[in-house]
Every structure is written in C-alpha cells, then in structure tokens.
Amino acid sequence: MKANSRESWSRLIALARLAPHSNAEAVEAPFGFATRVAARGLEVMDRGVASLFEPFALRALGIAAVAAIMIMALGFNPVLQSIREEVAAVGADPVSVLVD
C-alpha cells in the first residue's frame, strides 16, 4: 500500500460525510436480488488440485524455456566439433562424399 493511504482514507471518509444523503426507500433492488447475493456468498467454490499449480504455471514455462535455450546453446558446440572431426577424417565435405 502507499505510504499516505491513511491520509487518503481519512480524506475519503471526510468527503463521504459531506455527501448528501440519498432516499434509501426510493431505490429498490430487483426482485430476488437479495436471494441471489446470499446464494453467491454462501456458494462453495469447487477448486480442484490443479488450481494449486496455476500461479506457478507461467513461471515454470519461462524457466523451462530458458533451460531449453541454455541446453541448446551448450550442446551446439559438441555437435560442431563432431562435424569438424568428421570432415577432417574424410578429407572432404561428407555430403559431397555421399552424393558421389
């Protein structure tokens, strides 16, 4: 929260006290409104076990992407080294040897 939240709250309360009073009897809620509000308030939310992991899903996806990029970057050098060794052993481009 902001450091001046207590001041803001006090100012909001002071302004609310100055606001004109409305006629509460003139404003009516639609038929059944109170029942719907009470039913939703008492409604039990059925959250499965999978919902426990939802907050961590995007974070885990990011970590997996970074790990995949690092593995590709670190694994690329041995592949290049293997190709260089094969070219040196054959004495020519391996593709041209296979095509001939």
Model's pTM, two decimal places? 0.37
The per-residue pLDDT for 66 is 96
Evaluated on CA atoms 37, 42, 43, 45, the torsion sign reads positive
Q: How far apart are CA 61 and CA 67, in angstroms?
A: 10
Q: How far apart are CA 14 and CA 11, in angstroms?
A: 5
pLDDT digits (tens, 9 = 90+) for 47-90: 777 777 888 888 999 999 999 999 988 888 888 888 888 878 77
The better pLDDT of the pair 67, 19 is held by: 67
